[in-house]
Chain A
């Protein structure tokens, strides 16, 4: 399935999928994100790293307007996806989130069957015309999340009965099933053991063939392993944003260096 030519994806790296300009986020009186501007590339993995509380998750949640669900949260500045301002008044966050999928820190399968978990997105978005199509979408998504072989015989058992790693891959399949263009991942491996983490990382590696993947992680090794671009956040500021190699080998900002070498964080 994932035999798209590597050249093509390298070419696509030059495409800019998301542009953020001077984004400010306030939680009540707290200024959580300070003037962040960043360009996120299509069909690549972008990692947000930084010490906890630095605002990386908050910023991630701005990209599909999940912060709308928090009453006291206020976002200023401009975020464009494919050149369209997602905070434009004409934008429906529901449509936006179908285009920008999200996977959360803790695996959160719905208390439904594995099949229904994956079929949920396509169903609400009216993406399929009949059961056969839906079955196909579910299978494709589960294969895409490298879960199909493990669950194909128990599609109608509860999703909550899977192991942690499987649950997280189920959540990824669930997000993939709605055919998003961007996939946001908020510390997707923090609740998983090393083996499950490796599986999910492999999965992310293959996902970047189709999506622009943005991942928040507290693990620098993970960022180094899987991402092409890395952004370092500190105290609500975007300190440095560059190719992952550059960040880890030759950071330009002393704060980045301190963090990478373990002196802050």
Chain B
């Protein structure tokens, strides 16, 4: 039975439980809802919760656990020596899974009978042919052990699925009955229901933590896997980045870090002065009319997707720079995609980011501070430079750090605008590449997930995550401290 049907049945049981619980509560009070502790709906909800929550919980755990359990069983059964040189158990298991899926599809469209799919007499060669004809993805010819593994994989999954269906339905029914038996006028249904809702709310709030854990684990496992096949000392020590599909890749992170840093520096050199002065002008000088038009207009820049900026860098800014700095101009630039191109465009993207954060921070400086300075005969600009900005400095530094973390983590602008060459160069008109751009190219290429060329992306991701997280935590800490100072 497909999971969706199981879910629907349990949901129907829950709905039924709601109706039954509600009417049973009313019945037990002789139709007078005033005699009940809670409103009748709460009794219904109580039954529905008892029906749905435990059964869905079991369903979810089962769905996650079964594939892991089955895979470990099957890979334990695989005969020795089936794993070819240069491959891994994971790859063989993927093939087993593909074969099993293929057989499943054949059975589903009627090309193969269920008995035949399970029988030991199936000829692997014939099966390969049939699978290929049916348009199923089969990488290579299926061997006998793989076929057997696939068959037992199917069998175990089928048994597991049946057991799961039975168990989930049993628990749902059990919950339904239990909930109904609880229903009595003195039963504090509202408190129970509200308690469950509260648990649900807590679960939703914890998802943020789960996400972080998920990020850390997914980066960590694959990074460890990467360092097992590629020495960490080379990753952090080598100055060359040259992946190759034949192996012997040189995967040193420094050229990428340098590119990332260089582009971010250029971006911040553009964004910080413009953003800061824009914020100062808007909060201290601009009339209400100017402020209410210029501020939203600038913020449009922040709402534009980065792919747009990427295209803008590739097709507008790059060629524009080429006309000035390229071979027809000064001759510093080889191609339109360069550190300068990406940096400039990223700077434009960050202007509203810097300006609106700084605007908030400048506005948080108390008016008394300005009055004090103006009352002494300081001009507005003296007040801003010598009183407001020093007072706002921690907050502004925080904002700049957040902008820097944005710049470091930005992907689409550098993928399209910075070029693909990993090099350590000082010329801002050279093409370079960044950590993020390489994560994209290593994971969207054709290389196998188990190869160092693909796994390196996780190590790069880990580096990126650690750097940006550090910047964010530090920046948010500064900003928070700053806000508290004036609250």
Secondary structure at the B interface, as helix, strand, loop or mixed, is helix
Docked Cα-Cα span, A101 to B378, in Å, equals 11
B369 at interface (Cβ–Cβ under 8 A)? Answer: yes
Interface flags for A87-131 (1: CB within 8 Å of B; 0: not) read: 000000011111101111010111110000000110011000000
Among the stretches A26-34, A171-179, A193-201, A224-232, the one at the interface with B is A171-179
Residue of A nearest to B393 (CB): A111
Residue of B nearest to A111 (CB): B391
Docked Cα-Cα span, A69 to B285, in Å, equals 10
A71 at interface (Cβ–Cβ under 8 A)? Answer: yes
Residue of A nearest to B378 (CB): A124
B360 at interface (Cβ–Cβ under 8 A)? Answer: no
Q: Given A71-B288, A110-B387 in contact, is the A94-B371 Cβ separation under 8 Å?
A: no
Give the Cβ gap from B429 to chain A, nearest Cβ, in Å. 43
Q: Given A96-B377, A97-B377 in contact, is the A124-B372 Cβ separation under 8 Å?
A: no
Residue of B nearest to A122 (CB): B376
Interface residues of B in 315-373 (CB under 8 A from A): 366, 368-373
Q: Which of A71, A95, A104 contacts B375 (CB 8 A)?
A: A104
Residue of B nearest to A184 (CB): B375
B369 and A94 within 8 A (CB): no
Residue of B nearest to A105 (CB): B368
A101 and B375 within 8 A (CB): yes
B382 at interface (Cβ–Cβ under 8 A)? Answer: yes
Contacts of A98 in B (CB 8 A): 376-377
Contacts of B387 in A (CB 8 A): 110, 120
Docked Cα-Cα span, A104 to B368, in Å, equals 8
Docked Cα-Cα span, A111 to B387, in Å, equals 8
A95 and B377 within 8 A (CB): yes
Contacts of B373 in A (CB 8 A): 110, 120
Residue of B nearest to A98 (CB): B377
Give the Cβ gap from A151 to chain B, nearest Cβ, in Å. 18
Contacts of B368 in A (CB 8 A): 104, 106, 108
Q: Which of A96, A97, A104, A120 contacts B386 (CB 8 A)?
A: A120
Contacts of A106 in B (CB 8 A): 368
Give the Cβ gap from A57 to chain B, nearest Cβ, in Å. 12
Max chain B Cβ within 10 angstroms of own Cβ: one of A71, A109, A110, A120: A110
B371 and A101 within 8 A (CB): no
Give the Cβ gap from B212 to chain A, nearest Cβ, in Å. 35
A124 and B377 within 8 A (CB): yes
B376 and A104 within 8 A (CB): no
B390 and A178 within 8 A (CB): no
Q: Which of A69, A71, A109, A175 contacts B376 (CB 8 A)?
A: A175
B375 and A110 within 8 A (CB): no
A256 at interface (Cβ–Cβ under 8 A)? Answer: no
Contacts of B378 in A (CB 8 A): 94, 97, 120-121, 124
Interface residues of B in 370-413 (CB under 8 A from A): 370-379, 382, 386-387, 390-391
Contacts of A175 in B (CB 8 A): 375-376
Docked Cα-Cα span, A103 to B288, in Å, equals 29
Q: Given A94-B377, A96-B377, A120-B376 in contact, is the A69-B391 Cβ separation under 8 Å?
A: no
Docked Cα-Cα span, A184 to B287, in Å, equals 29
B376 and A108 within 8 A (CB): no
Give the Cβ gap from A7 to chain B, nearest Cβ, in Å. 32
Docked Cα-Cα span, A103 to B371, in Å, equals 9
A66 and B371 within 8 A (CB): yes
A64 at interface (Cβ–Cβ under 8 A)? Answer: yes
Interface residues of A in 160-184 (CB under 8 A from B): 171, 174-175, 178, 184
B390 and A111 within 8 A (CB): yes
Max chain A Cβ within 10 angstroms of own Cβ: one of B369, B378, B387: B378
Residue of B nearest to A171 (CB): B372
Give the Cβ gap from B25 to chain A, nearest Cβ, in Å. 60
Interface residues of A in 57-95 (CB under 8 A from B): 64, 66, 69, 71, 94-95
14 further A-B pairs in the complex, CB-CB below 8 A; given A102-B375, A178-B376: A71-B287, A96-B377, A97-B375, A97-B378, A102-B371, A108-B366, A108-B372, A110-B387, A111-B391, A120-B378, A120-B387, A124-B379, A125-B377, A175-B376
5 cross-chain CB contacts under 8 A:
A69-B371, A71-B287, A94-B377, A112-B390, A174-B376
